[in-house]
Structure 1
Amino acid sequence: MTRPIKAQLVKYSRLAHERGLTAAFGGNLSIRRENLVFIKATGTVMDDMTEGQVAVMDMHGNQLSGVRPSSEYRLHLAIYRLRPDVKAIAHLHPPYSIVASTLLEGELPIITPEAELYLGRIPIAPFRPAGTEELAKVTAEALGSVDATIMARHGIVTVGRTLREAFYKAELVEESAKLWYLTRKDR
């Protein structure tokens, strides 16, 4: 059971880096299976991630593997606790989304029919320091019943029933941010 889950995390982590949705050590993906959470290990670069760099923890944050989970594990746990329907999370650092969060408050405007259909709304959560309980709380609250949010000056979080679903929602958020930025009249 754990090998296919780890293989998915490796595949989509590398894809996120390849598509410019994150760089260097940034970003992390996770999958929840019952009471277990599989997440990128701390210090791992998504571009060359291996199955050995997938940490496993329980829903209480107890480390169950030989590698430590990402410093953003609190964020993932807060979302899983608030949203039992969520089975996978993509937290990435795409450039247009981060730029949009410095220029907007409230929400990112929805431009395309696809974003309207699959995302509905893209709220912007207020800035809180990375890896903190405060960031986990404001981001989980911003998600509420939507499947995507932008974290001010930090990145994005998307959720889904599968990692594939969460990943492609992340691409939609970044496309939305890019289109919004490119259509701004004051550029």
Structure 2
Amino acid sequence: MTNDFECLYVGNEMTEQTLRQQLLDTSRRMVELGLNRGTAGNASVRHGSDILITPSALPVAEMTERDLVLIDKEGKVLQGRKPSSEWRFHCDILNARPEIGAVLHMHSTFATTIACLGRDVPAVHYHIAIAGGDSIRCTPYTIFGEQNLSDLALEALRDRKACLLGNHGMIALGKDLDDALSVAQEVEYLCEIYWRALSVGEPKILTAQQMHEVKEKFVEYKKRD
């Protein structure tokens, strides 16, 4: 007997069952790594033309594969319970960025601390390039779960794989869930470095030319891989 979710959507793409397990595992890892706690944050992954997303108001510790919600690209529930209140920016990001396969949202300590200062994270360390540019942008504050937050996030994520949400938290993107989680961990580390540097003085920021050289170096390493 096959599981209800064991159905390939195209060619050799992952089954829905596999994606559900990966999304649940990633949500648990976000908690284990201290990037989220309780019912905070949410995660999604592209599933063909649809999206699998974590449910609203359910602690990860209580979450099962069947609790994950299947929605269409407009946010309509196709299967499951009520999706995360932040479903709008998950849909909007995945619709706008075809190269992105997963979206993670966290209330991690250091990213949220910098977001509460309303600061972009500048090129305080060359690894800032992992997020796609010379900075990690921070949006102005706006209420959660509304279209305005999604619009602000999309702008802050332009040419980027991460942004901070003012007085709120962080969004990290990736080609898949593993990639998005890797970006999230790096951004949290960079925010910690920035916070610690600010506590001592004003950090030295790398120049645009220095960051250009870093990006070229990263491209070389990717070619070798």
Q: TM-score, normalised by structure 2?
A: 0.78
Q: Does 1:55 align with 2:69?
A: yes
Q: 2:129 aligns with which of 116, 127, 143?
A: 116
Match of residue 2 from structure 1:
16
Q: In the TM superposition, what are the counterparts of 1:26-65 in structure 2 within 5 Å? A: 26-65=40-79
Match of 2:151 in 1: 137
Shift of 1:84: 1.6
The counterpart of 1:98, out of the listed 112, 131, 136, is 112
For 1:141-160, list aligned pairs within 5 A: 141-160=155-174
> What letter is aligned with 1:16?
M
Residues 74, 133 of structure 1: 8 Å contact kept: yes
What root-mean-square deviation, in Å, do the aligned CA atoms of Structure 1 and Structure 2 show? Answer: 1.6
CA contact (8 A) 2:52 2:71 kept: yes
How far did residue 186 of structure 1 move?
Answer: 5.4
Q: Which has the larger radius of gyration?
A: 2
- Please report how far the alpha carbon of residue 161 of structure 1 lies from its aligned counterpart in structure 2 after TM superposition: 0.7
* 1:13 counterpart residue number: 27
Which one scores higher on RCO, CA 8 angstroms, separation ≥ 6? 1
Rate the CA distance shift 1:18–1:115 in 2: closer, same or farther, 3 A. same
The match for 1:88 among 96, 102, 109 is: 102
Q: Return the offset for 1:104.
A: 4.0
Letter aligned with residue 55 of structure 2: A
Q: Distance in 2 between matches of 1:72 and 1:117?
A: 25
Q: TM-score, normalised by structure 1?
A: 0.93
The one-letter code matched in structure 2 to 1:57 is I
Q: How many residues in Structure 1 have an aligned counterpart in Structure 2?
A: 186
Unaligned 5+ segments in structure 1 are none
1:127 has 2:133 as partner: no
Q: Percent identity?
A: 27
- Post-superposition, which runs of at least 4 consecutive aligned residues in structure 1 deviate over 6 A? none
Structure 2 residue runs of 5 or longer lacking an equivalent are 1-14, 203-225
Give, in whole Å, the separation in 1 of the partners of 2:124 and 2:60.
29
